[in-house]
Amino acid sequence: MSGREHHYEVTVRWTGNRGEGTAKYLSYGRDHDITAPGKPLLLGSADPAFRGQAERWNPEDLLVASLSECHMLTYLSLCSRERIVVTAYEDAATGTMTESAGYSGRFSEVVLAPAVTIADPEHRERALELHHEANKGCFIANSVNFPVRHEPTVHIGE
């Protein structure tokens, strides 16, 4: 697989023009639509701390979600290859961003807390270990410049 390139296309269209454009900082909306070919519309905005709408996805939410989703997909693939049957997976991921002077800021960390249910109790330790391997294989985690920590739990179920 080494050297293969994958390309992704999205369109972000600003929908927050309230008639004055960006004439005044307080007069324009931060709403936007995010689209990609063949996928449903995603409603975006800024974080409410930056005059956005809380019910819409903001870039910070999407960054944390992409790290969580990439980890999950990598982890499930590794478990499948090792014949560890995962029957449920839920992650309560959190991200921390710190603002800097001059309209800037950066994420300092993201913590993933996946709760995984597996079928066989004999695989519990390996199921935990695979989170470390999943982090190494996650394309998104490999692309960010801040720590992505993991606090996984493994439960036994059917």
What are the tens digits of pLDDT across the range 8-24? Answer: 999 999 999 999 999 99
pLDDT at 1: 55
In whole angstroms, give the CA distance from residue 114 to residue 153.
Answer: 6
pLDDT at 101: 87
Is 28 among the domain residues?
yes
In whole angstroms, give the CA distance from residue 14 to residue 10.
Answer: 13
Is 79 among the domain residues?
yes
- Give which of 22, 61, 27, 28 is closest to 44, Cα–Cα: 61
Q: How many domains does the chain have?
A: 2
Average pLDDT of the segment spanning 135-158: 95
In whole angstroms, give the CA distance from residue 3 to residue 10.
Answer: 23
- Give which of 78, 76, 149 is closest to 117, Cα–Cα: 76
Q: Distances from the Cα of 44 to the Cαs of 9, 15, 105, in angstroms? A: 16, 10, 19
In whole angstroms, give the CA distance from residue 118 to residue 87.
Answer: 6
Assign residue 73 the CATH number of its domain: 3.30.300.20
Average pLDDT of the segment spanning 132-149: 97
pTM value surpassing 0.85: yes
Per DSSP, the residues of 104-116 read EEEEEEEEE-EEE
Tens of pLDDT, residues 67-103:
999 999 999 999 999 999 999 999 999 999 999 988 8
Is 147 among the domain residues?
yes
Is 3 among the domain residues?
no
Average pLDDT of the segment spanning 30-46: 98
pLDDT at 158: 65
